[in-house]
Amino acid sequence: MNGIYTALICSFDEKGKVNEAGLREIVRHNIDVQQVDGLYVNGSSGENFLMSADQKKKVFEIVKDEAKNDVKLIAQIGALDIDEAIELGRFATELGYDAVSAVTPFYYRFDFDEVRDYYNTILEQVDNKMIIYSIPALTGVSMSLGQFAELFENEKIIGVKFTAPDFFLLERIRHAFPDKLIFSGFDEMLLSAAVLDVDGAIGSTFNVNGRRAKQIFELAQEGRIKEAREIQKVTNDLIADILANGLYQTIKEILKSRGVDAGLCKKPMKNLDADRVKKAQEIAKTYL
């Protein structure tokens, strides 16, 4: 399951409903144009935490039906309601997803015993492989090397999506667990993570910049660091402009400029005004 995975954007209509035709176009764009190795479905970039369980299931269904077996698929099932996470995990597994992933439980100040129990409880009832989604900046949950070791004692936990700037910890995890999958979660730090021998990356900007991400990753693996750094520089210029204009909204507008019906964001996210739409189109022309 190594490689570059897009954290898939989802297309919504004006009423916040999943736009099936647009979502299918996004999937095909990622597979056929960006040529990524896999799709990470219903993560933060897919506005997962703004959706009902039924909407999440619909997205899982549409993506699997469109992608079939063209690329690997990871289903992000994490939810504060553990019963929902289990239900989604079973659903995605029955659809044929290659693995599930779950963000660490958030909002309440869960201690590590509770976090560990969360994953083990899910995996007792979901017959699939698990990739932990660690994103401390948004969840408030930071874990030590020893705590990752405790989680990895469960053989069904095969790796981690590591979305943190702690490269000391990243290196320690890589050294201690050579057989576990490590996916970098910060697009702007892909080269730095690749140098530490991660197995791949999962990123939102790969919806529009996946081919460059693959170049960075492959060049780093070949030891061609100077070339990779040049591509990372262009990538980071693109990322900086996207972030300044509105992350998910700008990615959607860039996709629209490429003929992909990426739709709107769900409320309470706001959509871009005319000036920012124009800026998104300029970003597309400049970098893509």
H helix and E strand count, the chain: 12, 8
DSSP string across 38-98? EEEESSGGGTGGGS-HHHHHHHHHHHHHHHTTSSEEEEE---SSHHHHHHHHHHHHHHT-S
The pLDDT of residue 91 is 99
The pLDDT of residue 268 is 97
Over the stretch 157-173, which tens digit does the pLDDT of each residue have?
Answer: 999 999 999 999 999 99
Task: Answer yes or no: CATH 3.20.20.70 is held by domain 3-222.
Answer: yes
The pLDDT of residue 239 is 98
Over the stretch 184-210, which tens digit does the pLDDT of each residue have?
Answer: 999 999 999 999 999 999 999 999 999
Q: Spell out the domain ranges in the chain.
A: 3-222
Active site residue 180: no
The pLDDT of residue 40 is 99
Catalytic residue among 72, 161, 214, 252: 161
CA distance 189 to 148: 21
In this prediction, residues 213-217 reach a mean pLDDT of 98
Instruction: Round to the nearest angstrom and report the end-to-end CA distance of the chain.
Output: 27
In this prediction, residues 117-125 reach a mean pLDDT of 98
Active site residue 133: yes
Mean pLDDT taken over the chain:
98
Catalytic residue among 72, 133, 180, 256: 133
